[in-house]
Amino acid sequence: MSIDSMRVSHPKSFELKKYDPAETFGWHRESAAADLEHVKLQLDKLQQRLAAENRRSLLLILQARDAAGKDGTVRTIFSGLNPAGVRVTSFKVPAGREASQDYLWRVHMACPGDGEIGVFNRSHYEDVLVVRVKGFEPPSVWKKRFRHINEFERMLHDEGTTVVKCFLNVSKAEQARRFQDRLDDPAKGWKFREGDLADRKLWPKFQTAYEDAIRQTSTSRAPWYVVPADHNWVRNLAVAKILLEALKGLDPKFPAPDPAIKNVRVV
């Protein structure tokens, strides 16, 4: 039930204010760690089958405001999976050849191959979010990109990549607490940058941009999920369950043994 409540199935009426960043779905923190380990065991088995089948792939896109926990989500969920079958890409400001290509070029290059799970820590959605809010491109440019993105994700879907998109929804108050924690902890200070405070002042504009992006691009082929992120344990378990549901939907199979080796005996 909680996974269905996170999925944006009616994007035209989508509003972020309807989603509580502190939601727990009635889950209990005391049992969440064990629940997560159980989900990860199932993910591991399905990943093995996906890799062995070697016909399809899965792409998990994580978008969020600063301090919502993208890195922590990746580290927690994928720590028990075979790293050979998982590709994690963190997209920074385009540089070098990336900056001279179209905005989807580097994204397509990082998409998972057959048998792989790909994870995007930020993604092509920066080009309808940051680019919009900070005025790097005029509306005549970034508004076209919703159509580009939908067609790009349609192509991935048609070619065998299941696309799952999670917006980690952190509240402004919780973001402030986490920022202060970074400033006060020498082991976390490196995560904080002066621009974080400037972006925080743009909270309402980012809110509007996220709502618009999700309305325009949550499709049956590549749905958005709004994941409550004020509690790390809820966020991690929720994303893991969403990922598990997607892999179960694929239901990958081990290929049948080659008949030519049926009677082979190793001596």
Which domains can be identified in the chain, with CATH numbers?
2-252 (3.40.50.300)
Residue 142 has pLDDT above 60, yes or no: yes
Model confidence, pTM:
0.95
Q: State residue 195's pLDDT score.
A: 85
Other beta carbons within 10 angstroms of residue 95's beta carbon come to 9
Q: How far is it, in rounded angstroms, from Cα 160 to Cα 101?
A: 25
Pair 150, 44: CB distance under 8 Å: no
Pair 162, 152: CB distance under 8 Å: no
Q: List Cα–Cα distances, 231 to 1, 24, 65, 228, 244, in angstroms.
A: 19, 8, 15, 7, 20
Q: Which two tokens stand for residue 39?
A: 């989900």
Q: How far is it, in rounded angstroms, from Cα 80 to Cα 86?
A: 11
Residue 1 has pLDDT above 70, yes or no: no
Q: Which two tokens stand for residue 244?
A: 């598990």
Tens digit of pLDDT for each residue in 26-77? Answer: 999 999 999 999 999 999 999 999 999 999 999 999 999 999 999 999 999 9
Q: Position of tokens 């509007």?
A: 208
Q: State the average pLDDT over residues 113-122.
A: 97
Q: What share of the chain is helix, strand, coil (3-state, %, to 5)?
A: 55, 10, 35
Tens digit of pLDDT for each residue in 181-240? Answer: 999 998 888 888 888 999 999 999 999 999 999 999 999 999 999 999 999 999 999 999
